[in-house]
């Protein structure tokens, strides 16, 4: 297009710019629609967006809260990015997250004999495994019998939802509490706070420092990433090329379940200090949007998670200060996802042109 | 023991089963044709949810279910036109677009509900009228069968009629055969002079109408209110039942009967106040049943050859 022959960007860089551009368009378009809704709700969009800025990145505490909010979303979407790359659609991440949270809430009460540096990682590992266990059957059914994972993972979400609801109102219920929730965990079982006077807990570093770099290396710089993409593009061809289809399928689905479970564990040990059914306002579903918005790219999903975290917190501030109805975050999310589809469309169109020119 | 049998088999449960089956059949017949034409629209869940919401809103503010249904249909068709534009015209991934519509539907309806009823407390807003039950004269007075089968809304009768009509259209009409041809291989169908894009648009618009009606059944027939994510995965279950039924309307009817029976059973378990089974397990039952059915019957299913594959006309 306009950059004809002038710049010497590599193909990779051009495609990256294109992705950033289309993702940017998706978010701006969503915010434009949101401003129409803000006006129709009788509020001033300029003031509302100013408060969205204030509530998301306008101050240091707000920024920390955005990170707090982004953490579970980031973990979920990092896992989903891996599965989605192989075109394996785990849409039950919300259920795996609830299971992970429940494991953390229950185990935290029993492991307090162990020292904190040992207990906390153990509990988190267990909540990740809990999430992975919840997707074992869908993963095996998909790998060995070609049972469509979209439906089995969705069914397993509802099963998890009611199962956890049962556990919280029965066996795991805090005997002296008023609500269906587990007993509050002792402070020693919680993830340590890193920045004093804020909620910046050690769990925030898990997606940023562990899984972010890990995915960057594995997806971008190893054969595993290539295998995932091959399975996603053409499973038959991948098989002929020597990719173990079953292994890739089971591994990537279990990985996405593990990270969703971990997200639940981190949320309980980092923020909530107990398991309750409303620890997640749909992080598992937001994670799907974010994985798509970030083009299943390791850096892309991290950036997209933080944007989504900011939008959720910002719209809470908007609700408080501008009388914008609660739930604007849901709406913005809905608009983002629709415009992401349009973004895919644009990306598809222009990437053909970009690639075509190089050839 | 007789109480137990009464729980499993009774006029009440049969009637509830038929009632709960209605939205599945309406949405399912639409989706069946869509899939026969080679398009996988997971967004049927989202359209049902939009349908439930707008039917409720329309009925709540006008007091007339007709306006509610009309509003739901307009929105349902609009959403499926968007889906058709993205997937049929622009060849964007069908699975991703469908999932996107569903997530958007949850977000949009729950926001709009809160925006419409900002001061809604624990008691949700309710419509004053719902779709009325119209017992069929004479037939409805047959003992047992009458109240179970012939005392429903017109949409239930229509839904039950729709299934044999769909079966006939698919296997006995030239239009049905053309749809199948398009679903098997759109390129060849195109070479034979069939208009792939127009046919798919037409079927998707029809599905928009049917799925919106299906959603309306939830909010202004089974209930008189709207609840967040009211469809509870029923759209996905419809798609699963189509796959399990190997794209045959009659098999789909059988699957829907099974699912609706389990759903009716869980409602009865809850209503009967059986305390041995916690109510959460009753709620879980339909999903466990669907999961088990998928695991046992859903293996290596071969659908229309071009299902969910993007198609671009070669110029």
A3: confidence class by pLDDT, cuts 50, 70, 90: very low
Say whether B100 and A340 touch across the interface (CB within 8 A): yes
Does the interface predicted TM-score (ipTM) exceed 0.85?
yes
Which range has the top average pLDDT, B198-207, B262-271, B304-313?
B198-207
Residue A65 lies in a domain: no
Within a domain: B138: no
Spell out a b/e string for B276-301, using b for 16 or more CB atoms within 10 Å of the CB, else e: eebbbbbbbbbbbbbbebbbebbeeb
What is the average pLDDT across B188-214?
96
The answer as to whether A320 is a domain residue is no
Specify the DSSP class assigned to residue A200.
-
Q: Is there a domain that residue B22 lies in?
A: yes
pLDDT tens for each residue of B180-197: 999 999 999 999 999 999
User: Of B104, B236, B239, which is closest to A337 when you measure between CB atoms?
Assistant: B104
Distances (CA, A) of A342 to A25, A339, B107: 9, 5, 18
Per residue in B41-75, pLDDT tens? Answer: 999 999 999 999 999 999 999 999 999 999 999 99
Least Cα separation, residue B312 to chain A (angstroms): 13
Which chain B residues are within 8 Å of A292, Cβ to Cβ?
96, 100
CA A10 to chain centre: 30
- Give the structural domain span for B110: 2-117+150-297
Least confident window among A31-45, A114-128, B46-60? A31-45
B237-to-A133, B42, B151, B227, B243 alpha-carbon distances in Å: 23, 10, 26, 19, 10
| Average pLDDT of the residues of chain B | 92
The answer to whether A331 and A37 are in contact (CB under 8 A) is yes
Taking residue A110's Cβ as centre, other Cβ atoms within 10 Å add up to 11
Contact pairs from chain A to chain B, CB under 8 Å? 143
Q: What is the mean pLDDT of residues B198-214?
A: 98
Q: Which helix (H) or strand (E) segment is B155 a member of? A: helix B154-172
Q: Is the pLDDT of residue A135 over 50?
A: yes
pLDDT of residue A359: 40
Q: How far is CA A91 from CA A248, A332, B45, B63, B219, in A?
A: 18, 20, 13, 38, 25
Contacts with A338 from chain B: Cβ below 8 Å: 82, 100-101, 104
Q: Is residue A286 part of a domain?
A: no
Nearest chain A alpha carbon to B96: A341
Closest CA to A189 of A266, A74, A286, A83: A266
A interface test, pick of B100, B232, B269, B307 with most A CB neighbours within 10 Å: B100
Instruction: With respect to residue B141, please indicate whether it lies within any of the assigned structural domains.
Output: no
Residue A318 lies inside a defined structural domain of this protein: no
pLDDT at B152: 92
| pLDDT surpasses 50 at A159 | yes
What residues of chain B, 167 to 196, have a C-beta less than 8 Å from chain A? Answer: none
- Is B99 part of the contact surface with chain A (CB cutoff 8 Å)? yes
CATH number of the domain where residue B287 is located: 1.10.3470
Span B129-148, pLDDT tens digits: 899 898 888 888 888 888 88
| pLDDT at residue A358 tops 60 | no
Predicted confidence band of residue A357 (pLDDT cuts 50, 70, 90): low
Chain B residues 101-160 with a CB less than 8 Å from chain A:
101, 103-108, 110-115, 118
In a domain, B174, yes or no: yes
Asked whether residue B303 is assigned to any structural domain, the reply reads: no
Residue of B nearest to A139 (CA): B295
Q: Which of A82-96, A209-223, A309-323 has the lowest mean pLDDT?
A: A309-323
Above 50 in pLDDT, residue A145? yes
Do the domain assignments include residue B292?
Answer: yes
Rounded (10°) angle between helices A149-169 and A93-110: 30
Of A150, A156, A344, the CB nearest to B92: A344
* Residue A184 located in a structural domain: yes
Mean pLDDT along residues B246-254: 96
- Give me A35's structure tokens: 């401003």
Q: How many domains does chain A have?
A: 1
Can you say how many angstroms the Cα of residue B70 is from the centroid of all Cα atoms in its chain?
A: 17
Using CA atoms, how far residue B197 sits from A89, A148, A345, B29, B202, in Å, is 27, 27, 18, 20, 9
Minimum-distance CB partner of A145 among B90, B110, B300? B300
* B120 pLDDT tier (thresholds 50, 70, 90): low
pLDDT at A345: 80
Whether A330 and B108 lie within 8 Å, measured CB to CB? yes
Q: Report in angstroms the alpha-carbon separations of B98 from B46, B80, B84, B228.
A: 8, 10, 10, 19
Is residue A327 one of the residues assigned to a domain?
A: no
Give pLDDT tens digits for A47-96. 988 998 999 999 999 999 999 999 999 999 999 999 999 999 999 999 99
Q: State how far residue B295 is from chain A, nearest Cα, in angstroms.
A: 7
Q: CB distance B104–A147 less than 8 Å?
A: no
Asked whether residue A4 carries a pLDDT value surpassing 50, the answer given is: no
Q: In terms of Cα–Cα distance, which of A51, A158, A120, A89 is closest to A268?
A: A120
Q: Which chain A residues are closer than 8 Å to B239 by Cβ?
A: 151
Please, which pLDDT band fits residue A28 given cuts at 50, 70 and 90? Answer: confident
Does the pLDDT value for residue B87 go beyond 70?
yes
Residues of B in contact with A169 (CB under 8 A): 278, 280
Domain count, chain B: 1
Distance from CA of A121 to the nearest CA of B (A): 31
Measured CA to CA, the distance from residue A89 to residue A91 in angstroms comes to 6
State what percent of residues in chain A have pLDDT above 90. Answer: 61
For the record, the structure tokens of B315 come out as 């110029």
**Band (B241; pLDDT cuts 50, 70, 90):** very high
Residue B43: its chain A contacts at CB < 8 A?
Answer: none
Measured between beta carbons, the chain B residues lying within 8 angstroms of A334 are 103-108, 111
Please determine, for residue A238, whether its predicted confidence score (pLDDT) is greater than 80: yes
CB of A317 closer than 8 Å to CB of A52: yes
Residues of A in contact with B300 (CB under 8 A): 145-146
Q: State which residue of chain B sits closest to A287, comparing Cα positions.
A: B103
Please check whether residue A35 lies inside any domain of the structure.
no
Residue B15 lies in a domain: yes
Does residue A244 fall inside a structural domain? yes
Per-residue pLDDT band for A7 (boundaries 50, 70, 90) equals: low
* Contact yes or no for B104 and A169 at CB 8 A: no
Whether the full predicted model's pTM is greater than 0.90, yes or no, is yes
């Amino acid at each position: 297009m306009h950059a004809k022959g002038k710049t010497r960007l590599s193909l990779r860089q051009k495609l990256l710019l294109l992705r950033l551009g289309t993702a940017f368009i998706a978010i701006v378009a969503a915010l434009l629609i949101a401003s129409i809704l803000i006006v129709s709700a009788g509020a001033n969009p300029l003031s509302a967006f100013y408060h969205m800025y204030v509530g998301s990145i306008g101050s240091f505490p707000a920024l920390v809260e955005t990170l707090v909010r982004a953490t579970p979303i980031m973990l979920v979407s990092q896992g989903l990015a891996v599965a989605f790359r192989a075109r394996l659609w785990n849409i039950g991440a919300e259920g795996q997250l609830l299971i992970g949270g429940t494991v953390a809430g229950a185990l935290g009460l029993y492991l307090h004999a162990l020292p904190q540096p040992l207990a906390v990682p153990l509990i988190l590992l267990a909540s990740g495994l809990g999430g992975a266990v919840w997707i074992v059957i869908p993963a095996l059914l998909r790998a060995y019998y070609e049972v469509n994972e979209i439906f089995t993972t969705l069914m397993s979400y509802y099963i998890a939802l009611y199962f956890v609801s049962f556990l919280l109102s029965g066996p795991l219920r805090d005997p002296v509490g008023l609500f269906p929730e587990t007993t509050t965990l002792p402070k020693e079982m919680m993830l340590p706070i890193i920045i004093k006077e804020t909620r910046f807990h050690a769990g925030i570093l898990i997606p940023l420092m562990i899984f972010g770099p890990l995915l960057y290396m594995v997806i971008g710089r190893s054969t595993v990433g290539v295998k995932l993409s091959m399975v996603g593009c053409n499973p038959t061809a991948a098989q002929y090329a020597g990719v173990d289809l079953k292994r890739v399928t089971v591994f990537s689905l279990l990985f996405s379940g593990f990270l969703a479970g971990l997200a639940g564990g981190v949320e309980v040990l980092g923020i909530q200090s107990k398991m309750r059914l409303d620890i997640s306002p749909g992080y598992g579903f937001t994670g799907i949007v974010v994985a798509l918005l970030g083009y299943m790219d390791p850096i892309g999903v991290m950036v997209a998670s933080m944007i989504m975290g900011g939008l959720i917190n910002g719209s809470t501030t908007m609700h408080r200060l501008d009388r914008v109805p609660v739930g604007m975050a849901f709406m913005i999310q809905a608009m983002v996802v629709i415009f992401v589809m349009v973004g895919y469309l644009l990306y598809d169109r222009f990437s053909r042109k970009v690639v075509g020119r190089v050839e | 023991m007789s109480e137990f049998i009464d729980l499993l088999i009774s006029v009440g449960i049969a009637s509830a089963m038929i009632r709960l089956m209605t939205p599945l059949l309406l949405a399912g017949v639409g989706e069946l044709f869509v899939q026969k034409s080679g398009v996988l629209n997971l967004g049927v869940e989202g359209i049902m949810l939009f349908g439930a919401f707008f039917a409720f809103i329309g009925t709540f503010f006008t007091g007339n279910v007709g306006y509610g249904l009309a509003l739901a249909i307009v929105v349902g068709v609009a959403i499926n036109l968007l889906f058709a534009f993205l997937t049929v015209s622009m060849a964007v991934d069908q699975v991703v677009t469908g999932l996107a519509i569903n997530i958007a539907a949850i977000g949009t309806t729950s926001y709009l509900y809160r925006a419409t009823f900002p001061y809604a407390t624990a008691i949700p807003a309710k419509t004053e009228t719902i779709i009325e039950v119209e017992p069929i004269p004479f037939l409805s007075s047959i003992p047992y069968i009458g109240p179970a089968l012939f005392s429903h809304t017109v949409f239930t009768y229509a839904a039950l009629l729709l299934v044999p009509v769909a079966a006939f259209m698919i296997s006995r009409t030239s239009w049905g055969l053309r749809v199948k041809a398009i679903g098997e291989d759109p390129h060849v169908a195109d070479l034979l002079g069939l208009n792939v894009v127009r046919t798919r648009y037409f079927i998707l618009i029809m599905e928009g109408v049917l799925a919106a009606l299906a959603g309306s059944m939830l909010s202004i027939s089974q209930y008189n209110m709207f609840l967040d994510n009211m469809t509870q995965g029923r759209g996905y279950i419809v798609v699963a039942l189509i796959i399990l039924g190997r794209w045959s309307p009659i098999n789909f009817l059988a699957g829907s009967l099974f699912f609706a029976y389990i759903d009716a059973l869980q409602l009865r378990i809850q209503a009967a106040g059986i305390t041995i089974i916690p109510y959460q397990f009753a709620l879980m039952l339909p999903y466990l049943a669907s999961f088990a059915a998928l695991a046992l019957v859903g293996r290596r299913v071969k659908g229309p050859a071009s299902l969910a594959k993007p198609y671009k006309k070669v110029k």
